[in-house]
Amino acid sequence: MVSQSRPPEVKLHIFENSNSILAVYLINMANAQQRNQAMVEKLSGIGLTAERVEAVDGRALTFPIPEFSELSYKLMHGRRTCPPEIGCYLSHVECARRLLQSEAEFALILEDDVVFKQGFMESVEAAIDHRNDWDILRLSTVSHGKKHAFRKLTADRSLSIALTREKGSGAYIVNRKAAKWIAEKLVPMRLAYDIAYDLEYLAGLKSAFIYPLCASQDADNTSSIQSVAREYKLPRWRYFTVLPFRAYLEVTRFLFRGARLLLGYAGNLHSTRRLTPAKRNSDSSSTPLPPHPASYEPAPVHAVVSPGVNPIR
């Protein structure tokens, strides 16, 4: 829970207008009302409300279903059909579909165990100012890989790129291009969701972290998925297909994201060398422009609370 002694964050100007640019979706199981209420309070503390998306209960599904490829899941992920993981996956796909059905430009997608850190709103606003740098903006992770900063956002945080796999999908933002990819190209399910949407580079999309992280998933130590996932692992033969596939992903991820990182460094170097007209005409020592000038167009948000749930189609 957010510390009660901490003053609420200021609602920043991108969140002040009723015109829709950022939809907020909260994934929550039907029987997890306490978690839902806790998230409503945490969101209220940072000036946001969310549309509740009732999570798909994988245990209630009757397999096979067209949204899930059992063979690909075995060969690529090395597990037998895991209903909780499938339910989680389809819940995130539903959020992407809702964004496409709305007028919003972005969607903040949250699982119901997220904790917001100090400066969350300020960091999100700064990242939206630099919306051309990403299609998927990662706000949390359960991995500990190194994040390489390429653009300063605030005094404490930067846009960063991870060259290794980062798991977890507790809090992230997608634009409409990424949502279309998730809704159309990531179905049927072949991998766990946090692995699948971490492969955006294979679709020509861009992802970035806000780092240090401005959200975490350490609200509690329980996970209905991770606590049972090990039970669905296949025997050791799975490594004959899973390991080559993962090796391919690691190599391509490093190459594609590494190239993006180098381009980001080059862009920053170029911007720091630019001088103001006044400096060009003076004999004084040159002073570079700030590497990330504020070129901001107000980006208001509209998020609502809705008990309705669209079915997975």
The whole-number pLDDT of residue 308 equals 34
The whole-number pLDDT of residue 264 equals 84
311 preceded by a cis bond (ω within 30 of 0) = no
CA separation (Å) from 186 to 90, 189, 242? 10, 6, 18
The whole-number pLDDT of residue 238 equals 86
Q: Which residues of the chain have pLDDT under 50?
A: 1-19, 221-222, 275-313
Q: Would you list the DSSP string of 68-109?
A: B-HHHIIIII-B---HHHHHHHHHHHHHHHHHHHSS-SEEEE
Q: Phi-psi region for residue 242, left (φ > 0), alpha (ψ -120 to 50) or beta? A: alpha
Closest among 245, 108, 126, 243 to 169, alpha carbons compared: 108
